Structure 1
Amino acid sequence: MSAAAPPTHSASMRSDGTGILEQVWRSDDGGWKAALEVDQTNPFFFDHSLDHIPGMLTICGLGDLARNGVWAPEVRRLRGNVAFRSIGELEHPVVVAWGPLEAGRRTARITQGPTVLAEGWVAASVEDETDTHDAQQPATSRLEHAEARLLHRSRAENIMLGEPHPDQQGRICAAVIPPLPGHQLHGDREERYSAEVLIEAGRQYSTWLLHKFGDWPMGTQGLWIGLDIDIPVQVPRTLPVTLRWRRHPIPPGKVLLTFDLVTGDGEAVIGSLGYTSRGLSASAYARYRESRSNS
């Protein structure tokens, strides 16, 4: 796999001006690092008041750094896992990093000073068997959006999930709704679903399911613990894409939810996403944050 070298000490900006990296540089191990911009006025990442750095901001930071040439532009599929180790504090700098390419994969790491916020690995492939010949323009403007409060979203433009519904086999399905031009996750490849859009749609779906099927009360603070991906990244937006969940009991405490990524007709499985979360009550979360600030 070829990979062009990102420019050293350069700002990372997409053509639509939504870049979130302040600086990029070569690391001592032959990988790449970047300083992450934490803009608390950003209408997507800070859709509502937060006392910490959102996990999607760090995931998008890795994505922006990858597009600086760390991964080849012809990559068609990503497989990997990221474990979130600690909550990022708003006041301190964050660094996202890709390790050197080894056996077709790179390590991913997000740090805040000596603290590891998240770490994992991603393998990228230029080969993919996803069938997109039946692409047709999805009527996303006519799709009913999932209820914002069940996704922990306050702005309608940040909802990337259609209202979930059961299929004939009793599986719960929800359409992926790509964002409009100008949105943080729209990117500069309008014709394709980005990895970040698929990941965010799945994250919103996991939140919805935890409330609707896991009986998490509103006000529960969900801690995002892990992300597993096996997703195509060259799927045209003219192909309707749906997240499909096979119903099973959702226990309290630590929860893993996995979704099939399927084409609009529900027949072709083109990928999968997995989300591990832990729910805390408002009081338990306050105690957790207090313990972290005193450590």
Structure 2
Amino acid sequence: MGILCEPSELDDCTPVPHSATCRIPDRAGQPEGPVTGELLVDTNHSFFFDHRLDHVPGMLQVCGLFDLLSEAGSDMDGVPGRRLRLSLRFTSFCTLQPPPILTATRLVPQVNDLWSVDVRQHGSSVCAGRIDVLSGTLEPPPSLEAGTRGSASAPAEVVHRHRPENIMIGAARTEADEVVVPVMVPARNHYLRRLSRDAHDAAALIEAGRQFTTMLGLMVTGMPVDSHLVWLTIAADLPLGIPHGTRLWLRWLRMPDSGPKVRFVMDLLDADRRRLGMLVSSCLVLNDADYTTLRTLGGQR
């Protein structure tokens, strides 16, 4: 896979690495200031645009911010003994043009891994929040029962993915008080394994949470599978560097919620049902008419 789009006319930019999602201007002489980059949007990308979209998906914005922090020296590559904590809000739709601008600012000078982040377009913020990479994680024992591509995937229509290789959760196990899905391991050549070949990548875990949010949103609202899911917020506290040999699950404990705005708290579990982390995600579940109205009003959420 090549870079996500043709280079823009930005001056003094570093070369774009393989599968990068952003281009960062040369920071020579400005090592301590905010880090800024341009989000690269390729509507032919097999993961971010595996079906037609009229906007920049939230996962591309998340991955762009991760790549921006990695280029700025943050330890985002899944080294064991670290945790990722983030809280992001998608405030409006990010359109396909012009290229969005990513910014990350250290919250504490000289400390690389505490960041305030922002995605801006047309002079306004479309996504903002905080991303921290911290020391300390629970390392589970290895298991031979990882959710490999040989496991049964969730139906594509309930996670809003078209390509089977992009489905990151397995079929749901539904009980009276909980819904549980296995976390799938991306194929070896998949985009979500570009940074960490042998461990669960943070972006892959967040995508699994986003797909679980989509599945649950349709489930609790009773809306048809072709409804529009509009991502509103994502918060996470996740361990980094867990090997793919460790089987992981996402669990939602049932709580009353009917929509159209729904919120889910999801626990990340190992095979022994130990809680390793969590994701909290909210979205709107809309029919065609309500989605069109939201877009007509400028997409403010």
Q: TM-score, normalised by structure 1?
A: 0.88
**Partners in 2 of 1:292 and 1:29 — Cα distance?**
35
Q: CA RMSD in A?
A: 2.1
Match of 1:211 among 190, 193, 218: 218
- Cα distance, 1:252 vs structure 2: 1.6
AA matched with 2:73: V
Residue equivalent to 1:256: 263
Higher mean alpha-carbon deviation, 231-240 vs 67-76, is at 67-76
SS at match of 1:142: coil
Equivalence map 1:51-62=2 (5 Å): 51-62=54-65
**Partners in 1 of 2:96 and 2:197 — Cα distance?**
31
Residue equivalent to 1:164: 172
SS at match of 2:149: helix
**Partners in 1 of 2:249 and 2:15 — Cα distance?**
35
Match of 1:79 among 82, 85, 90: 85
- Cα distance, 1:87 vs structure 2: 0.4
Do the aligned partners of residues 137 and 252 (structure 1) sit closer, same or farther apart at CA in structure 2, a change above 3 Å counting?
Answer: closer
Residue equivalent to 1:127: 136
Matched, 1:151 2:159: yes
AA matched with 2:279: L
Matched, 1:36 2:35: no
- Cα distance, 1:283 vs structure 2: 1.1
Do the aligned partners of residues 135 and 11 (structure 1) sit closer, same or farther apart at CA in structure 2, a change above 3 Å counting?
Answer: farther
AA matched with 1:22: R
CA offsets 1:71-98 (integer angstroms, 9 cap, x no match): 1365710112101111011121111121
**Partners in 2 of 1:12 and 1:24 — Cα distance?**
11
**Partners in 2 of 1:240 and 1:246 — Cα distance?**
19
Contact 2:168-2:204 at 8 Å conserved across structures:
yes
Do the aligned partners of residues 275 and 24 (structure 1) sit closer, same or farther apart at CA in structure 2, a change above 3 Å counting?
Answer: farther
Matched, 1:63 2:66: yes
**Partners in 2 of 1:33 and 1:143 — Cα distance?**
40
**Partners in 1 of 2:229 and 2:166 — Cα distance?**
18
Residue equivalent to 1:114: 123
**Partners in 2 of 1:134 and 1:153 — Cα distance?**
29
Residue equivalent to 1:142: 150
AA matched with 1:11: P
Do the aligned partners of residues 93 and 142 (structure 1) sit closer, same or farther apart at CA in structure 2, a change above 3 Å counting?
Answer: closer
AA matched with 2:151: L
CA offsets 1:139-196 (integer angstroms, 9 cap, x no match): 52331100000111111010010001036x7421101112112222111321111110
Gaps of 5+ in 1: 1-7
Matched, 1:11 2:15: yes
Q: TM-score, normalised by structure 2?
A: 0.86
**Partners in 1 of 2:37 and 2:117 — Cα distance?**
12
Do the aligned partners of residues 24 and 136 (structure 1) sit closer, same or farther apart at CA in structure 2, a change above 3 Å counting?
Answer: farther
**Partners in 1 of 2:147 and 2:258 — Cα distance?**
35
Contact 2:147-2:183 at 8 Å conserved across structures:
no
**Partners in 1 of 2:151 and 2:51 — Cα distance?**
24
- Cα distance, 1:137 vs structure 2: 5.1
- Cα distance, 1:25 vs structure 2: 4.8
Match of 1:222 among 223, 229, 236: 229
AA matched with 2:74: W
Contact 1:52-1:88 at 8 Å conserved across structures:
yes
Matched, 1:290 2:296: yes
Matched, 1:99 2:67: no
Gaps of 5+ in 2: 1-11
Match of 2:287 among 251, 266, 281: 281
SS at match of 2:291: helix
Matched, 1:186 2:189: no
